[in-house]
């Protein structure tokens, strides 16, 4: 695990201590407290550069999938670096705008857009709605007419391709809730062409997350180009293909293709099918931020038992739900080098048997030690909750020898701020 930590861009071990760029992680934990999310500016740059090399010399574009991590400081970095944003809610829309995005920088995905969501997006002049059903298409048309606007749309196609990932993050199979059935796509486009509040813009797909093989991407692209061919035969021409996201990262021993490799493979497929000039949108999330972030947590107790050894830390499933929800294996490294490792279940204070960060891992640690969970930059803080009335963690961004608090730790007062009591006689 220490070897994996050293392989992370922006992170290193020096004289036994763990560092984020030029700053000692244990010292950051002492300064800001734990649990603490720490992001490396250098690691963010490295991940984005891989994508940018892939699209260099093309008219393709990267739209960061905000669901992975929507902290405003990170969004500002991506905006300033030239990416757009893939959003799935009105809250994400507002975050994108606050980060400096303009309308054309935003594409709106998601299966459950409300009338208010659609209205807000139209007023922001977003670049495109990714439509996932006939009722949604009709609703967008209705709201657009009410707003006296024309809504640009792509249809999200469900290509029924196995992404070979965890079933909870597979989105491109016919039994998933996402997208329009492959066989019904052309008919839906024909319907869209008749609606006065709709302008057909592109076609969209997204087959899953944490995909570690190239073949599902290429297979799905081939199926999408079949539809593009069929649309052209029906006189419907598109101005872009939205390829979605889903590229996986290395957490333990995975070997996913690089972003550059993926982009070039899809571009080659487009050229083979006669669409070399068609702009392609990519919507990476995890591959841009996962390995740029770590979660620091302090060891509270060691609890050896006859059945298992439990290492109880101050971070919990409300801070990082991926191990519980997806059975994700995420390395934990002690910021202090120690000998005599044993097998431990690393667990949090939450009142659930499923509250664990790791199971049966070899680790040497003592109470008061600070552990670093790697690969925590994606779907960590963005999925955090207040379960058990726990305040969410603080977040910091490191660049060289400088550090900024980009989200303060929630207080107990914060947890109660939106709630009200009622008079005692209300219960009589």
The token pair at 152 is 């640009």
Active site annotation includes 335: no
Q: What are phi and psi of 419, to 5 degrees?
A: -105, 155
Of 20, 128, 335, 351, catalytic:
351
Q: Is 255 exposed, middle or buried (0-12, 13-18, 19+ CB in 10 A)?
A: exposed
Q: Are the beta carbons of 62 and 81 closer than 8 angstroms?
A: no
Q: Are the beta carbons of 355 and 324 closer than 8 angstroms?
A: yes
The token pair at 376 is 């925590």
User: Burial code of 121-155, b = ≥16 C-beta within 10 A, e = fewer?
Assistant: bbebebbbbbbbbeebbbbbbebbeeeeeebbbbb
Catalytic residue IDs: 351
């Amino acid at each position: 695990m220490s070897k994996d930590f050293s392989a992370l861009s922006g992170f290193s071990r020096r004289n036994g201590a763990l560092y984020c760029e030029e700053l000692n992680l244990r010292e950051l934990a002492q300064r800001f407290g734990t649990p603490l999310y720490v992001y490396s500016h250098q690691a963010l740059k490295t991940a984005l550069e891989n994508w940018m090399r892939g699209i260099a010399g093309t008219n393709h574009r990267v739209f960061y999938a905000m669901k992975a991590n929507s902290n405003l400081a990170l969004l500002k970095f991506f905006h300033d670096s030239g990416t757009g944003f893939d959003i799935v809610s009105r809250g994400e829309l507002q975050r994108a705008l606050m980060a400096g995005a303009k309308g054309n920088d935003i594409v709106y995905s998601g299966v459950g857009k409300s009338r208010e969501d659609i209205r807000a997006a139209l007023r922001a002049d977003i670049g495109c709605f990714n439509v996932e059903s006939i009722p949604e298409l009709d609703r967008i048309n209705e709201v657009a007419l009410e707003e006296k606007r024309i809504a640009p749309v792509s249809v999200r196609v469900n290509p029924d391709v196995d992404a070979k990932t965890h079933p909870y993050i597979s989105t491109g199979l016919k039994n998933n809730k996402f997208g329009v059935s492959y066989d019904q796509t052309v008919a839906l486009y024909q319907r869209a062409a008749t609606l006065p509040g709709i302008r057909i813009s592109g076609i969209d797909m997204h087959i899953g997350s944490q995909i570690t093989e190239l073949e599902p991407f290429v297979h799905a692209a081939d199926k999408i180009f079949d539809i593009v061919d069929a649309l052209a035969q029906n006189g419907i021409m598109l101005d872009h293909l939205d390829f979605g996201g889903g590229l996986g990262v290395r957490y333990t021993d995975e070997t996913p293709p690089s972003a550059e490799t993926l982009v070039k493979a899809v571009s080659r497929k487009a050229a083979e099918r006669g669409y070399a000039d068609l702009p392609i949108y990519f919507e990476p999330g995890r591959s841009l931020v996962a390995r740029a972030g770590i979660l620091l947590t302090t060891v509270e107790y060691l609890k050896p038992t006859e059945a298992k050894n439990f290492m109880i830390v101050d971070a919990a499933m409300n801070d990082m739900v991926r191990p519980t929800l997806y059975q994700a294996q995420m390395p934990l490294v002690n910021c202090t080098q120690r000998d005599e490792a044993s097998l431990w279940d690393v667990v949090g204070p939450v009142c659930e048997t499923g509250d664990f960060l790791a199971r049966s891992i070899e680790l040497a640690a003592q109470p008061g030690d600070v552990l670093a969970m790697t690969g925590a930059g994606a779907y960590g803080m963005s999925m955090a909750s207040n379960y058990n009335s726990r305040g969410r963690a603080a977040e910091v961004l490191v660049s060289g020898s400088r550090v900024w608090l980009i989200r303060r730790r929630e207080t107990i007062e914060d947890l109660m701020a939106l709630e009200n009591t009622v008079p005692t006689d209300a219960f009589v």
